[in-house]
Chain A
Amino acid sequence: MATKDRLSFSSRFGSIDLTDAETRDGILFALPYLALFSVFLLYPLVKGFYMSLFDWNAFAPAQSEFILFENYARMLSDPAFWKSVRATVVFVVLTVPTLVVLGLALALGVNRDVKGKRILRTVFFSPYVLTVSVVSLIWAELYAPQYGAINYYVGFVIQNPPSWLNSFTWAMPAIAIATIWWTVGFNFVILLAARQSVPERLYEAAKIDGASSWRAFKDITVPQMRSAIVFVTTVQFIWSFQVFGQAYIMTNGGPGESTQTLVMYLFRMAFNEGQFGYAAAVGYFLFFVLVAVSLGNYYFVSGGDTA
C-alpha cells in the first residue's frame, strides 16, 4: 500500500528503497514487545515442557535427571492430584453457571427502564476492582462461626448453622459465593453492553405480534446475545479452573484437602516441596485442559454461526 510514494521516507542508508524502510520501521516498532513476549511468555512455555521431562534439580539444574514422561505418570496415579482436580471441578460447577445466569439477570434488569441505572451498575460492578485478598479476608469474617454476621442471621432459620469454612460440605460453596460476589460484575457489564446493542425494533415487532415476554427472551434476547454469552462462559470457565487465592486465603485448602484446587496443588508441589519438574508437568496438564476448552469453544462458535 505504501510502496508508491518513495519520497516520504528518508532513509539513513540512502540507497535503500521505501519497502525496506517500511519493513525496518515495522520490525522496530514490533521488537520491544516481541522481546518481552518471547522471554516471559513463549520461552517459559517451551521451558516448562522441557522441565516436565526431568526430575528437576532447582539448585543445580544441570544435574537434573531426564525421566521422560515419568512426572506425568506419577501425576495420573497420585490420589492428591485427582482430589485437587475434583475440588476444582466442583468449584467450576458451583460458580460458572451461576455467574453467567446471575450476570445475565442483572444485565437484563438494569437494561430496563429503572431509576438509578448508573448507581446499580456501579454497585454490581464494584467488587470486581477488589483484590482477591480483600475479598477473602472480608468474607472469612462474614463466615466466622462464633461472631460472623452470616451465622447470626442463619441462626434464626436453622438451629446449628454450619461453621462454613471448616466444613467439608460447606467450605467450597462458601468460597463459591464469595467468588460470585467478587466477579459477577465482569459478566454483568459485558452482557449489559451486548443487550444494549440488540436492536429495539425487534422487540417492538414482537410486541405487535403479541409475543409474550418469555418468547421475546427466548427468540430475540438469547440468540442476539449468543456470542457474548458464549464468551462470558468460556472466560469464566478458564478463570474458575485456575482458582487459587480465595481458597488459599480463606481455607488454605482445608478442611482436609477438600478445597485444595489444582493451582494450589501445583503451587505447593513447586514452592513447598521444591519438585519443579513435577509441578511443571501439572502446569502442562492445566495448559492442555484450557487449550482444549478454548478450541472447543472456538469451533462451537464458528461452527454454529450462520455468517
Chain B
Amino acid sequence: MSTVGSRLLSERVRSVGVYAALYGAAALFLVPYAYMVSTSLTPEQFTFSNKPYWIPPEITFRWYDAVLAGAPIVQWGFNTFVIAATTTVLVVLLDSMIAFSLTKLDWPGKRIVFTIIVASFMVPVFANMVPLYTIITDFGLINNPLAVILPFSAMPIGVFLFTQFFDDLPDSVIEAAKLDGFSTFQIYYKIVLPLMKPAIAALSLYTFVYTWNQFLWPLIVLQGQQQFTLPVGIVTMQPTQVFQPGAEMAGTFLAVLPLFVVFLILQEHLVNAVQMQGTTG
C-alpha cells in the first residue's frame, strides 16, 4: 500500500520535474529572440543601461528607419530570395530527374555513377572552396548570383534523399504506365512527380532554408554591396552604424522575419526533411 503510494508520488514529482525542465529550457531558448526584438525597439538612452529591458520603457521605430535608409537591406533580401529560389528549383528538378533515372531506368554505368555521388557526400564544402573560387573566377561569375546557385545545386544530398523515396515506388506502377504507352518523360512528370509531392515539399523547403542561410561562400564570391545576400549584408552593416545595438538588432530582425514566417507556416515539411536525413543516412 505504502509502496504504491510512494510510487505514485514519485511519478508525480517526476512529471512536475519534466514540465519544469522542458518549459524552463523553452523559456531560455526564447531569450535571444526577446532580446533582439526588445533591443530593436528601445530608444538610445536606454540601450546602454546596465539593466536589460525585456519590455522597452518607450518604443521607437527609429532603428528600423535608420537601417532601411542606411543599408540596401531590401535589395539584399531580394538577392537572397533569387539565389535561394533558383537553387531550390534546380535542385528539385535535376535531383528528381537523376534519381528517377537511377532507380527506375536501366543503363550501363549507373551503379558507378550512384556510388560516386554517394561517396561525394564526404567532400566537405569548405575543403573545396579555393579551387571552386578559381573555377568561378574563370567563368567570370564573381558577383553573379550564379556563383552561389550553381555550386549549391551540385550538392548530392537531394539526389540521395530522392533515390530513397523513388526506391519505395513500386515498379508495377511504372510498368503499367509503359503498357499504357507513356513515354519516359510522361512517366516522370505525370506519375513519379505527383506521387512524390511530400518528398518534394520537404526537400524544397530544406534547400531553400539551407541556401538562404549560407554565409561563407556568398561572402567570398559576392563582393559588391549591391550583390550581397542578407546574411553577408547584415554583418557588413555592423561598423557603418557606429555601433548602435538598436540598429543592429533591427537589421537582424528584418533579416530573420521573412524566413521565420515561412518556417512557422511550413515547419512540418522542414522537420520532415531533417528527419528524413536521420532515418535514411
Residues of chain A touching chain B, judged by Cβ–Cβ distance below 8 Å, are 1-2, 5, 8-10, 19, 21-23, 25-27, 29-30, 32-34, 36-37, 39-45, 47-48, 51, 58, 61, 106, 109-110, 112, 114, 116, 119-139, 141-142, 144, 146-149, 152, 181, 186, 189-194, 197, 228, 231-232, 235, 238, 241-242, 244-245, 248-249, 263, 266-267, 270-271, 276, 279-280, 283-284, 286-287, 290-291, 294-295
Q: In the docked arrangement, what's the CA distance between A189 and B230, Å? A: 27
Tell whether A34 pairs with B255 under 8 Å between CB atoms, given A41-B120, A44-B131, A47-B134.
Answer: no
Q: Does B144 contact A (CB under 8 A)?
A: no
Contact of B130 among A8, A136, A189, A276 (CB under 8 A): A276
Contact of A131 among B32, B51, B94, B213 (CB under 8 A): B213
Determine if A1 and B130 form an interchain contact, defined as CB atoms under 8 angstroms apart: no
Q: B226-256 toward A: CB 8 Å interface, digit per residue (1/0)? A: 0000111011001000000100110010011
Determine if A33 and B97 form an interchain contact, defined as CB atoms under 8 angstroms apart: yes
Cβ of A229 to closest chain B Cβ, rounded Å: 10
Q: B83-105 toward A: CB 8 Å interface, digit per residue (1/0)? A: 00000001001110110111001
Determine if B97 and A32 form an interchain contact, defined as CB atoms under 8 angstroms apart: yes
Q: Does B2 contact A (CB under 8 A)?
A: no
Q: In the docked arrangement, what's the CA distance between A294 and B110, Å? A: 24
Q: In the docked arrangement, what's the CA distance between A40 and B133, Å? A: 10
Cβ of B83 to closest chain A Cβ, rounded Å: 13
Which of A30, A106, A193: most chain B Cβ within 10 A?
A30
Q: In the docked arrangement, what's the CA distance between A181 and B259, Å? A: 18
Which residues of the partner chain A approach B256 to less than 8 Å between Cβ atoms?
130, 134
Cβ of B91 to closest chain A Cβ, rounded Å: 9
Determine if B122 and A114 form an interchain contact, defined as CB atoms under 8 angstroms apart: no
Q: Does B68 contact A (CB under 8 A)?
A: no
Q: Does B207 contact A (CB under 8 A)?
A: no
Q: Does B113 contact A (CB under 8 A)?
A: yes
Tell whether A34 pairs with B127 under 8 Å between CB atoms, given A132-B231, A133-B235, A147-B48.
Answer: no
Which residues of the partner chain A approach B21 to less than 8 Å between Cβ atoms?
109
Q: Which 3 A-B pairs have the closest CB atoms?
A: A190-B278, A26-B107, A29-B101
Contact of B274 among A9, A144, A190 (CB under 8 A): A190
Q: In the docked arrangement, what's the CA distance between A144 and B97, Å? A: 50
Determine if B232 and A126 form an interchain contact, defined as CB atoms under 8 angstroms apart: no
Q: In the docked arrangement, what's the CA distance between A233 and B138, Å? A: 38
Q: Does B5 contact A (CB under 8 A)?
A: no
Q: In the docked arrangement, what's the CA distance between A128 and B130, Å? A: 27
Q: Does B81 contact A (CB under 8 A)?
A: no
Given contacts A22-B107, A42-B120, A245-B215, 8 further A-B contacts (CB under 8 A): A8-B179, A29-B101, A34-B113, A120-B22, A129-B263, A142-B32, A152-B51, A266-B126
Q: In the docked arrangement, what's the CA distance between A139 and B36, Å? A: 9
Which residues of the partner chain B approach A266 to less than 8 Å between Cβ atoms?
126, 129-130
Closest to A116 in B: B23
Determine if A9 and B212 form an interchain contact, defined as CB atoms under 8 angstroms apart: no
Closest to B229 in A: A131
24 chain-A/chain-B pairs, Cβ below 8 angstroms: A2-B178, A5-B179, A8-B178, A25-B105, A25-B184, A26-B107, A33-B95, A40-B135, A45-B120, A109-B22, A123-B29, A123-B30, A131-B215, A134-B234, A138-B249, A152-B51, A190-B277, A235-B277, A235-B281, A245-B216, A266-B130, A287-B127, A290-B122, A294-B121
Which residues of the partner chain A approach B113 to less than 8 Å between Cβ atoms?
30, 34
Cβ of A42 to closest chain B Cβ, rounded Å: 7
Determine if B188 and A29 form an interchain contact, defined as CB atoms under 8 angstroms apart: yes
Q: B8-33 toward A: CB 8 Å interface, digit per residue (1/0)? A: 00000001001101110110011110
Q: In the docked arrangement, what's the CA distance between A127 and B117, Å? A: 30
Q: Does B151 contact A (CB under 8 A)?
A: yes
Tell whether A41 pairs with B128 under 8 Å between CB atoms, given A9-B184, A22-B107, A33-B95.
Answer: yes
Per the 8 Å Cβ criterion, residues 182-219 of B in contact with A are 182-185, 188, 209, 212-216
Cβ of A81 to closest chain B Cβ, rounded Å: 15
